Amino acid sequence: MAVFWLFVWFIAAWIVDLEILLPSPITTAAKWFSLMGTAAYWTSIGTSLLHILSGYLIGCFAGILLGYLMYRLSVIDALFSPVLSMIRSVPVASFIILALVWIGRQQIPPFIAFLMVFPVVSTSVKTGLGSVDQELAEVACVYHFTRMQTIRLLYKPAVLPHLITSARVTLGLAWKASVAAEILCSLSHSIGGNIYTSKLVLETDTLFAWTITVILISILFESLLSRALDVLSPTARRKVSHVR
Amino acid sequence: MCVKLIDVTKRFGEKTVLAGLNLALQMGQCYAVAGASGIGKTTLLRVISGLETQDSGSVILPKDAVISYAFQEPRLFDELTVAANMSVVHPDRDSMQILQELDLSQDADKFPDELSGGMKKRAGLARALAKQADIYLIDEPTGGQDAQRCLTIAETVSRYTKGSLCLVSTHDASLVSMIADHLIVFAESSVQVYDHIKDRSLDEIQTLMR
């Protein structure tokens, strides 16, 4: 399949015959390999990874905490549910522009990644906690389960499927939004910053090379996250013969 | 020492399930609870366990009484094996011995989704019996079991609940005749308690339960 689309790209570039409009796969690959030989390429990737990961992880932790509080305290739920709905429906570009006014440019990509993750994780944790099996909760009540037992045997199986789905969905979203924020903030030494500069100087092959980098990192993220989450997934259960 | 229910009323919406129920249940005795489906047998067990709160009246239990409950549904943790499901209740007895007595010794390392409905039910019962409790609440233990298994279940329940108060909700007259000292029969407008059940024939018990 990939070979077919590469061929289509090749033919399209040959027909257009204008590298500035549509560089060929060969030109793009050559540019990409030359970029990989520079320290700036790897520094930019490192900076962008730091942006996304910091925002993503903080968003996950904050989301789990808020989701728990929303489940436990109806007043928190009533207060935050409309805010979370609002965050989800506001266009990312609007947040980036607003963030340019509110905070320093360096903090905007992590902040945007955070905003992509936080509302989805909060809502899914609240939903997961609400779906705890009430019949098993009664078993826990009768047999006076410890807090750890309750978390492991009741909350974890209920929350994990929701959390895994939201973690998967939001990682891609957060990555793309974070790069978009870097572009709009024209952050130097970042993937988005390099994409912005390529567009300014009309280096379309460089722009394509960076875009391919974004796609490859996104695929890598998905794969790593899938493996990590499969370990936690209830379907990948381990044989437990004795649990205290 | 006994468990006392004083004028206990429990309603679910418009339906009154327990209407001013008064009972004194002696520790060390086994009470079979019979009656038509939906008439309040399970509600009685749930009120005593504290899982259901009565709308009025009092339920008085001995101080620090340990309760063990075999629910009508197996209520096993899907991600745990049968043995692990027993371990979570911090058993005081040899779990493997109980599993063996209930014909589940080969299934201790299986997960609930690898068991039949009847096996799951017995695993739930085994978990309840693994606990050394002051009060056993056992809801329809022979439901979905064949005749031979019913006999095994009756013997096992009788052995492990000896010396404790045991309430067994059931439609099974044979089970009542094998394990019960007393029979509580729920009818539409009354609750009747019959004593000395072990002195009665199976036919008599069946008649009382109708």
Which pLDDT score is estimated for A131?
94
B:167-206 residues touching chain A, CB 8 A cutoff: none
Quick one: tokens of A133? Answer: 């099996």
Q: Do B88 and A153 touch (CB under 8 A)?
A: yes
pLDDT tens-digit series, residues B109-123: 999 999 999 999 999
**A222 is a domain residue:** yes
Q: Which residue has the tokens 């000896």?
A: B162
If you measure CA to CA, which chain A residue comes closest to B133? A143
Return the exposure string of B127-152: e unless at least 16 CB atoms fall within 10 Å of the residue's CB, then b.
bbbbbebbbbbbbbbbbebeeebbeb
Q: Do B90 and A244 touch (CB under 8 A)?
A: yes
Contacts of B77 in chain A (CB under 8 A): 136, 153, 157
Greatest CA separation for chain A:
75
What pLDDT band is residue A240 in, cutting at 50, 70 and 90? very low
Q: Does residue A161 sit at the B interface (CB-CB below 8 Å)?
A: no
Which pLDDT score is estimated for A200?
85
DSSP for chain B reads -EEEEEEEEEEETTEEEEEEEEEEEETT-EEEEEESTTSSHHHHHHHHHTSS--SEEEEE--TT--EEEE-SS----TTS-HHHHHHTT--SS-HHHHHHHTT-GGGTTS-GGGS-HHHHHHHHHHHHHTS--SEEEEE-TTTT--HHHHHHHHHHHHHHHTTSEEEEE-S-HHHHHHH-SEEEEE-SS-EEEE--GGGS-HHHHHHHH-
**A32 is a domain residue:** no
DSSP 3-state of A1 = coil
Which pLDDT score is estimated for A242?
44
Backbone CA torsion sign across B79, B80, B82, B85: negative
**A95 is a domain residue:** yes
pLDDT tens-digit series, residues B60-83: 999 999 999 999 999 999 999 999
Q: Does residue B43 sit at the A interface (CB-CB below 8 Å)?
A: no
Q: Is the pLDDT score of A238 beyond 80? A: no
Q: What is the mean pLDDT of chain B?
A: 94
CA B151/CA B174 separation, integer angstroms:
9
Closest chain B C-alpha to A240 CA, distance in angstroms: 6
Cα of B174 vs its chain's centroid, Å: 15
Which pLDDT score is estimated for A235?
54
Q: Is the pLDDT score of B3 beyond 50? A: yes
pLDDT tens-digit series, residues A129-149: 999 999 999 999 999 999 999
Q: Which is it for strands B182-186 and B191-194: parallel, antiparallel or unpaired?
A: antiparallel
Entry pTM: 0.79
What pLDDT band is residue A181 in, cutting at 50, 70 and 90? very high
Q: Does residue B113 sit at the A interface (CB-CB below 8 Å)?
A: no
Is A11 buried (19+), middle (13-18) or exposed (0-12) by CB count in 10 A?
exposed
Q: How much of chain B exceeds pLDDT 90, in percent? A: 89
Best probe of the A interface among B88, B95, B110, by most A CBs < 10 A, is: B88
Return the exposure string of B76-115: e unless at least 16 CB atoms fall within 10 Å of the residue's CB, then b.
bbebbbbbbbbbbbebeeebeebbebbbbeebbebbbeeb
B41 near B190, Cβ under 8 Å? no
pLDDT tens-digit series, residues B163-174: 999 999 999 999
**CATH number, residue A175:** 1.10.3720.10
Over residues A3-10, mean pLDDT:
91
Q: Is the pLDDT score of A232 beyond 80? A: no
DSSP for B141-189 reads TTTT--HHHHHHHHHHHHHHHTTSEEEEE-S-HHHHHHH-SEEEEE-SS
Over residues B32-43, mean pLDDT:
92
Q: Do B77 and A153 touch (CB under 8 A)?
A: yes
Which pLDDT score is estimated for A222?
86
CA A49/CA A175 separation, integer angstroms:
9
Q: Is the pLDDT score of A188 beyond 90? A: no
**A30 is a domain residue:** no
Considering its fold, how many domains does chain A have in total? 1
Over residues A234-239, mean pLDDT:
50
Bigger pLDDT: A237 or B16?
A: B16
Q: Is the pLDDT score of A243 beyond 50? A: no
CA A69/CA B185 separation, integer angstroms:
46
Q: Which is it for strands B165-169 and B135-139: parallel, antiparallel or unpaired?
A: parallel
Closest chain A C-alpha to B31 CA, distance in angstroms: 20
Bigger pLDDT: A235 or A177?
A: A177
**A7 is a domain residue:** no
**A8 is a domain residue:** no
Of A232-241, B127-136, B137-146, minimum mean pLDDT range: A232-241
Which pLDDT score is estimated for A168?
87
CA B9/CA A150 separation, integer angstroms:
31
**A27 is a domain residue:** no
**A56 is a domain residue:** yes
User: What is the CB-side half-sphere exposure of residue A127 using CA atoms within 13 A?
Assistant: 14
A240 near B84, Cβ under 8 Å? yes
If you measure CA to CA, which chain B residue comes closest to A144? B89
Which pLDDT score is estimated for B89?
94
Q: Say which amino acid occupies A212.
A: I
Which pLDDT score is estimated for A241?
42
Q: Is the pLDDT score of A64 beyond 50? A: yes
pLDDT tens-digit series, residues A102-121: 888 889 999 999 999 999 99
Of A64-68, A71-75, A230-234, B197-201, minimum mean pLDDT range: A230-234
Q: Does residue A173 sit at the B interface (CB-CB below 8 Å)?
A: no
Which pLDDT score is estimated for A226?
83
Which pLDDT score is estimated for A166?
92
Which pLDDT score is estimated for A234?
56
Range of the domain at A145: 40-243
Confirm whether the ipTM is greater than 0.90.
yes
What pLDDT band is residue A239 in, cutting at 50, 70 and 90? very low
